[in-house]
Structure 1
Amino acid sequence: MRAGRTFALVVAHPDDDAFSWAGTVALHASEVGFRFVLVHATDGEAGDIREGFRATPETLGGIRRGECEAAWRAVGREPDRHDWLGFPDGRVAEVPMEELTQRIAAVLDEELPDVVATFGPDGITGHPDHVAVGAATDTAFARLAGAGRPGFRRLLHHVLPKSVFDRWQGQRRALGLPVFDPARTYHGRGVPDEDVGLIVDCSAVATRVVAGILQHRSQLHVMVDTPIDHHRLERIVRREWASVVWPVPKASDPVLDDIFDGL
């Protein structure tokens, strides 16, 4: 079943969506015809368990699923469809690419989304799970769009512009916080500014995005700096950036300000 404007987000772990597209979803939350489809490749069961947190390797996946659901309630817009594919956290890159692609394609084929978003080749942090999920989603999108099906009008990669990344690095140094090393896995990295084809102003919903992030209690110690500075977090989530993968952009194309812009 298709709604008027369907957005499908495909990520790896239960908190990947918190920092990427929550603002965009919040902006469209009450829009008639907006449909939000969310796919998680894993339950995040291999995440870090901090000392004193009541979780075990056997229970963490279920806890993180619950946190993810609570996060979208805090944002103010729960997914219309939410699929957990159940692949092993930390080992998605070991899954045969065709199997991963087919599982993602099965959801997209049923939903026929107008816009699909996922990770780019850098995985934002170089995480192998992110890279694998992004590559499989790209392949699934290309197959379905090439088959002449309805939908599949735009494919986006969540990215961080290098100018913003460099500015944030400077701010972290000034605050005495650790800076990221883009050559290392699990560290943030930026893409050339000219590769950014979408910039969404999420200022109006930044407090809701932060409220969602804070629901990921089991992983806050790895997601955000402590002690948590709410005002700084709100500044960080005021913008969402993406590169446009499909249709293949032209140098003359304007920078979009919404995922459905021009569709």
Structure 2
Amino acid sequence: MVTFAAVFAHPDDDAYGIAGTVALHADDPDFRFVLIHATDGEGGDIRPGFDATPETLGAIRRAEDEAGWRAVGRPPDRHEWLGHPDGGVDGVPFAELVDAIWAVLQEERPTVVCTFGPDGIFGHPDHVAVGAATDAAFARGVADGGPGFCRLVHGVIPQSVFERWNAQRATLGLPVFDPTAMYHMRGVPDETIDIEVDTGSVAHRTVAGLLEHRSQHHVIFDPPIDVDRWQRVVTREWHTIAWPPADRGAARLTDVFDCLDTTTQRTPRRNR
């Protein structure tokens, strides 16, 4: 049995960077999927004409996220909503946030944990806070000497891919991302990418999941929604390995579980 735990800030954060990985393992009876959301996403924008209010949006987005995973074809085995305020996670006492994440991870003893890196992909303070707190919770699992906690990964976008996507957006007449601006995508140096997962065979499932986030279509998709284009966009998922210290001279892995000794769930091995 291997357990993949993902920790994110908002409903739909999880729909981008791990849906393909989960779909690839969907039919594996020895795969367990645990998902933690810090917020219900109640502070998000509401798509014009969508039947929601600030008071109802959180419940709607929770339901959308759950429908999204059904569309992907592999709902989480355990899904925890921590209930922190959307847009205010960075204001939650850090120790409190770490304790809440640790409470789940301590019970699950996951093989691999995925979260945001220091850039939060979009520079969102909620993303950055959740990533830092997950890193701290993971460190507790490593330190206590028990099973699991073999690898900590951060979802990222390679700089070369970021630049290619931005060039394509400019060609299509779409707004481009400014990596110095809040809530804009940013990349990380290509040489820091440790894992590149080919998710092309399940891209249609990833997009099916994204489409279920109906209140956020105006945030997720460029109008009009081009499903074929999005299926090309989600053919890869990238991660850096935050723990154990990565060997930058090693070949890129092709799955979050690659080169792990999951019989002991303690000793990671890298291809040389």
Alignment of 1:73-112 (within 5 A): 73-112=70-109
CA distance in 1, matches of 2:33, 2:48: 35
How far apart, in 1, do the equivalents of 2:78 and 2:228 lie?
31
**Do 2:72 and 2:209's aligned partners in 1 also have CA atoms closer than 8 Å?**
yes
Q: How far apart are the structure 1 equivalents of 2:48 and 2:229?
A: 26
Give the Cα separation in 2 of the matches to 1:77 and 1:251: 32
Structure 1 length as normaliser, TM-score? 0.98
- Tell me the distance in 2 between the aligned counterparts of 1:52 and 1:251: 48
* Structure 1 SS opposite 2:52: coil
The one-letter code of the counterpart of 1:206 is A
Aligned residue type for 2:211 = L
Runs of 4+ in 1 over 6 A off after TM superposition: none
Name the structure 2 match of 1:165. Answer: 162
Shift of 1:254: 1.9
**TM-score normalised per structure 2:** 0.95
Q: Which residue of 2 aligns with 1:147?
A: 144
1:251 shift after superposition: 2.5
Q: How many residues align?
A: 260
Cα deviation for residue 53 of structure 1 reads 1.0
- Supply the distance in 1 between the matched residues of 2:108 and 2:257 (Cα, whole angstroms): 16
Distance 1:52 1:224 in 2: 16
Give how far 1:161 is off.
0.1
- Per-residue deviation, 1:253: 2.1
Q: Identify which of 167, 182, 186 aligns with 1:189.
A: 186
For each residue in 1:10-41, what CA deviation from the matched residue of structure 2 results, as whole angstroms up to 9, or x when unmatched? Answer: 00000000011000000000002100000000
Q: Deviations over 1:81-139 (max 9, x none)?
A: 00000000000000000000000000000000000000000000000000000000000
- 1:55 paired with 2:52, answer yes
Please give the secondary structure, in 2, of the residue aligned with 1:44.
coil
Structure 1: 5+ residue stretches without partners: none
- Give the fraction of aligned pairs with identical amino acids, expressed as a percent: 64
Measure the CA separation in 2 of the matches of 1:232 and 1:143: 41
| Contact 2:156 2:187 (8 Å CA) reproduced | yes
Structure 1 segment 1-263 matched on structure 2, within 5 A = 4-263=1-260
1:190-223 deviation digits (Å, cap 9, x = unpaired): 0000110000000100000000000000001011
Secondary structure in 1 matching 2:238: strand
Segments of structure 2 that go 5 or more residues without pairing to the other structure are 261-272
SS at match of 1:133: helix
What CA RMSD, in Å, does the superposition of the two structures yield over aligned residues? 0.6
What is the CA distance between 1:143 and its match in structure 2?
1.3
